[in-house]
Every structure is written in C-alpha cells, then in structure tokens.
Amino acid sequence: MADDEIILSELDDEELVAQMFDDLYDGLKDEIEEGVNILLERGWTPYDILTKALVGGMTIVGADFRDGILFVPEVLLAANAMKGGMAILKPLLAETGAPRVGKMVIGTVKGDIHDIGKNLVSMMMEGAGFEVVDLGINNAVEKYLDALEAEKPDILGMSALLTTTMPYMKVVIDTMKEKGIRDDYIVLVGGAPLNEEFGRAIGADAYCRDAAVAVETAKTLVGRKHNQAPAH
C-alpha cells in the first residue's frame, strides 16, 4: 500500500530510531543511510547515532542470529546496511575523536581461502563499535605480525575452515610467544572445525563459535584488559 509508506523525516527521534532498528533488521541500506543523515541534521552526534541507532539495531540482529531466528544471508544484509550508515559516520567520528570500543586485526590463516565467517565477524564487530582491520584470506605468520606491529590492536582474530589449516593458528601464537608479544594481545580463534578444547590447547584467549559470541567475548575481554592497571 503506497499511501501507507513511512516518511522517515516525519518521525520523531524515538520513532525514527525504532524504525532504523527495523530497517537494519530487514537489511535496507538506503533507508539506514537516510536515517543517519536525518539524525545528523537534527544535531545528533555521530557517536550517538553509531551506538544508539546502528549498534542498538545490530545487537538485536546478533541476538536473533545467535538464537537461530536469523541466518547468515540475513545477517550479511543487515551488516551491509550498517556499513552504509558507517560510511557516512566514519569520517565524522574520526574528526570528533569518538571513543572506540577497541581495535581488532582479523584474517583467515595460511592455506585457507574461506572468508564468509570472517567477514561476518568483521561486520558484527564493526557493528558493535570496534575498529576492524581485515587482512583477508591465506595469511602467513609474517602478515599477522606486521599487522600487529602497524595497527597496535587490542585483539588478533584468526579463522580457519579446514582441519588442515587449523594447526597454523598455533604457529602464529607460538611465534608471538617467541617474540615476547603474546601477552600484549587478546587472541580469538574461530571456524567450523575448531572447538573450545582446541582453542585452549593452542593458547588462544578464547574460541568463538560464531560472530555473535565473538562480539560478546571481545567486549568482555577488552573491558577487562582496559580495566587492568598497567604493569609498569
């Protein structure tokens, strides 16, 4: 029904944010971009739009994904809509020096070219307000180490979808230990063939069975890390 169409600009702030939650859930990128621009025009700070409208909406998507109500295609659509909104906010956030939740370097390990799970984690982490540096697929240990050096993240995320590439995660962690930098980072691992036991065995901080768990784990561990008094 055309006469029933919602005009975003006619909604008050509260109604607009609620509508943006729905639009994110439905993966409507154009509507999210429009909503972000309307809130900016109304004097909302970029940080408030990010946390209240976008992250708020993605939290619902994440919970329904975790509970099996939404599936990967829908989450990717929602994340893509979120990206549209983020593209508008990113330069503005940089100008205002808004607080970041944390920073993550993520990539699939050497020999492995699977990236759907990793992309989902990247998008959900961005949705939760993290800065994410995605190294893509097939990453050798040197590539991870260079990225840690250059980016100084809180978290290193590694993903593998093959039982044959899983052991490479240990290579990366062992190399970090050799270089004395293992304790400087939170290491999260994920991918279908992994489990908690494997994560513990190779010395990761946590195994995350899906993107929603990755976000929750990352928030908890980064919060803990930032609350510790520095050692020196």
Is residue 188 a contact partner of residue 204, using CB atoms and an 8 Å limit?
A: yes
> Domain 8-96 is in which class?
mainly alpha
Is residue 160 a contact partner of residue 112, using CB atoms and an 8 Å limit?
A: yes
Q: What pLDDT, on a 0 to 100 scale, did the predictor assign at position 226? A: 75
Coil vs helix vs strand at 163: coil
For residue range 19-31, list pLDDT tens digits in order. Answer: 999 999 999 999 9
Show pLDDT as tens, one digit a residue, over the chain (232 residues): 445 688 999 999 999 999 999 999 999 999 999 999 999 999 999 989 988 999 889 889 988 988 899 998 998 899 899 989 989 998 888 777 766 789 999 999 999 998 888 988 998 888 788 999 999 999 999 999 999 999 999 999 999 999 999 999 999 999 999 999 999 999 999 998 999 999 999 999 999 998 888 999 999 999 888 776 555 5
Q: What pLDDT, on a 0 to 100 scale, did the predictor assign at position 162? A: 94
Q: What pLDDT, on a 0 to 100 scale, did the predictor assign at position 2? A: 47
Owner of token pair 């975003």: 8
- Residue 93: enclosing H or E segment and its boundaries? helix 72-96
CA distances, 89 to each of 54, 124, 133 (Å): 11, 16, 17
CA distances, 83 to each of 184, 192, 197, 215, 225 (Å): 29, 25, 34, 17, 27
Coil vs helix vs strand at 189: strand
Q: What pLDDT, on a 0 to 100 scale, did the predictor assign at position 95? A: 79
Is residue 130 a contact partner of residue 218, using CB atoms and an 8 Å limit?
A: yes
Q: Which residues of 163-186 are buried (b: 16+ CB within 10 A; e: fewer)?
A: eebbebbeebbeebeeeeebeebb
Q: What pLDDT, on a 0 to 100 scale, did the predictor assign at position 231? A: 53
Q: What pLDDT, on a 0 to 100 scale, did the predictor assign at position 66? A: 81
Please spell the DSSP secondary structure of 4-55, one letter per residue: G---GGGS-HHHHHHHHHHHHHTT-HHHHHHHHHHHHHTT--HHHIIIIIII
Sequence ranges of the domains in the chain: 8-96, 103-227
Sign of the alpha-carbon dihedral angle for 192, 197, 202, 204: positive
Predicted TM-score of the model (pTM): 0.74
110: closest CA among 145, 151, 143?
A: 143
**CATH number listed for the domain at residues 103-227:** 3.40.50.280
What is the C-alpha separation between 144 and 172, in angstroms, rounded? 8
